[in-house]
């Protein structure tokens, strides 16, 4: 895994140009708002359909709007005057959510259709779409010792039902808006993004947050037992949030990636059992493991082939998983005990 620092990003943006971030009340969208705000961009419009009090992160000097982007009128309002649009809005969650609520996931197509057309009509310079590794052919992911998936492995198409097909369709929309209408679109395929300030309870959380919470709960309750979905052999790579938002910025401001899907993920593969062991180590616990073989588990294995992103940027997401998980565990631990003490925390909104 490369430890090289990313080269400076060359943006054709003025400090007061309008940046629109859809899905800003969520984990990655909220982190992206904070990222651009930290860079000194003064005109950011953050959009989410959740009430403002329910956003994971919210900056007061940002234009924060509650809009349902599955409606055309809301999408038109969202992108008025925008120079760049980052669409991270979707109805989604971890495997427990996307396997059980496929209709809700597929209805996100309405968001992508309306946002692309509104952005085109508004004359947006650059449009980013957050895709997913769930677009990849599931027939290539039936072994925990999976070979890393390269961008071409999305075809022949056999995406994950619901969420994966919705993402793949939106990728094709982005490509056609460039081919036919000459709007610059950019697509990154996220691989299991995790970190502080994300979902950690309530049914939409992903595996790293869920396992951290379960270890914390087991220690606190004294049960010293953990329930694991599947048989523990499933493998994944997990991408730390700081690598993700940095990668988005780099991809959107690289013209030779226009309408070209690219992996944005770590290539550090770990099993679910390995993830549990790491969380136990961080938390100072040793738990009895039980396995729920009827629970949603997703594909047997999935990893990111980073050949292309290293070729383009001489960089790849490289935060070691143990380092990122330690920060995530400590943040969830704070949230857990704050909630136990009666304080309102981010998950109380759901």
- 220-237 pLDDT, tens digit per residue, is 999 999 999 999 999 999
Tens digit of each residue's pLDDT (9 = 90 or more) over 300-350: 999 999 999 999 999 999 999 999 999 999 999 999 999 999 998 865 443
> pLDDT band at residue 281, thresholds of 50, 70 and 90?
very high
Residue-wise pLDDT tens digits, 120-175: 999 999 999 999 999 999 999 999 999 999 999 999 999 989 999 999 999 999 99
Task: Identify the pLDDT of residue 327.
Answer: 98
Average pLDDT over residues 232-244: 97
The predicted pLDDT at position 1 comes to: 41
Distance CA 221, CA 205 (A): 21
Contact criterion met (CB below 8 Å) for 153 and 136: yes
* d(C-alpha 232, C-alpha 276), whole Å: 9
Beta-bridged to residue 291, according to DSSP, are 228
Count Cβ atoms below 10 Å from residue 8 Cβ, excluding itself.
7
Residue with tokens 């969650």: 93
CA distance 68 to 47: 9
At 232 the pLDDT is 96
Determine the pLDDT at residue 346. 66
**What pLDDT band is residue 2 in, cutting at 50, 70 and 90?**
very low
Q: What is the DSSP string of 105-162?
A: HHTHHHHHHHHHHHHHHTT-SEEEEEEEGGGS-GGG-SSTTPPPBPGGGG-S--PPTT
The percent of residues above 70 in pLDDT, for the chain, comes to 97
Q: CB–CB of 340/224 below 8 Å? A: no
Q: Which residue has the higher pLDDT, 131 or 93?
A: 131
List, as one string, the DSSP characters of 178-227: HHHH--EEEEEEE--EE-TTS--SSS---HHHHHHHHHHHHHHHT--EEE
How would residue 4 be classed by pLDDT, with cut points 50, 70 and 90? low
Give the CATH fold of the 19-195+239-264 domain.
Rossmann fold (3.40.50)
DSSP state of 7: P
Is residue 264 within 8 Å of residue 313, measured between CB atoms? no
Tokens of 230: 């599947």
The angle that helices 207-221 and 272-283 make with each other, rounded to 10 degrees, is: 50
pLDDT at 347: 56
Q: Is pLDDT of 104 > 70? A: yes
Whether the CA torsion 161, 163, 166, 172 is positive or negative: it is negative
The per-residue DSSP string of 77-103 comes to HHHTT-SEEEE---S--SHHHHHH-HH
pTM score, whole prediction: 0.94
User: Above 80 in pLDDT, residue 264?
Assistant: yes
- Least confident among 17-21, 25-29, 87-91, 203-207: 203-207
Q: Which of 202, 265, 207, 266 is nearest to 234 (CA)?
A: 207
CB-count exposure of residue 257 (10 Å: 0-12, 13-18, 19+): buried
Q: How confident is the model at residue 63 (pLDDT cuts 50, 70, 90)?
A: very high
User: Residue 7: left (phi > 0), alpha (psi -120 to 50), or beta?
Assistant: beta
Distance between CA 170 and CA 270 in Å, rounded? 29
Sequence-distant (≥ 6) Cβ neighbours of residue 197 within 8 angstroms? 27, 30, 31, 56, 57, 241, 331, 346
Residue 6 — very low, low, confident or very high, per pLDDT cuts 50/70/90? confident
Catalytic residues: 163
Contact 83, 18 (CB under 8 A): yes
């Amino acid at each position: 895994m490369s430890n090289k620092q990313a080269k400076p990003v060359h943006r054709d943006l003025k400090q007061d140009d309008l940046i629109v971030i859809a899905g800003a009340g969520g984990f990655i969208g909220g982190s992206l708002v904070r990222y651009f705000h930290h860079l000194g961009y003064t005109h950011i419009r953050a959009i989410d359909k959740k009430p403002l009090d329910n956003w994971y992160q919210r900056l007061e000097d940002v234009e924060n709007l509650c809009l349902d982007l599955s409606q055309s009128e809301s999408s038109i309002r969202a992108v008025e005057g925008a120079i760049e649009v980052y669409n991270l809005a979707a109805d989604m969650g971890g495997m427990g959510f996307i396997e059980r609520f496929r209709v809700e996931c597929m209805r996100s197509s309405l968001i992508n259709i309306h946002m692309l057309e509104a952005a085109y009509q508004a004359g947006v310079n650059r449009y980013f779409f957050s895709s997913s590794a769930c677009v990849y052919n599931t027939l290539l992911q039936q072994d925990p010792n999976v070979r890393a998936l390269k961008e071409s492995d999305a075809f022949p198409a056999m995406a994950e039902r619901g969420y994966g097909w919705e993402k793949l369709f939106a990728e094709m929309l982005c490509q056609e808006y460039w081919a036919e209408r000459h709007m610059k679109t950019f697509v990154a395929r996220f691989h299991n993004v995790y970190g502080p300030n994300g979902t950690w309870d309530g049914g939409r959380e992903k595996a790293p947050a869920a396992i951290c919470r379960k270890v914390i709960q087991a220690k606190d309750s004294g049960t010293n037992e953990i329930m694991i979905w599947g048989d523990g052999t499933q493998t994944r790579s997990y991408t730390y949030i700081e690598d993700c938002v940095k990668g988005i910025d780099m991809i959107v401001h690289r013209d030779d990636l226009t309408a070209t899907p690219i992996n944005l993920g770590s290539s550090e593969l770990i099993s679910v059992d390995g993830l549990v062991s790491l969380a136990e180590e961080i938390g100072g616990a040793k738990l009895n493991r039980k396995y729920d073989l009827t629970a949603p588990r997703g594909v047997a294995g999935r990893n990111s082939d980073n050949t292309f992103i290293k070729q383009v940027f001489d960089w790849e997401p490289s935060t070691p998983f143990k380092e990122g998980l330690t920060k995530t565990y400590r943040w969830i631990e704070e949230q857990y005990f704050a909630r136990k003490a009666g304080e309102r925390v981010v998950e109380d909104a759901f």
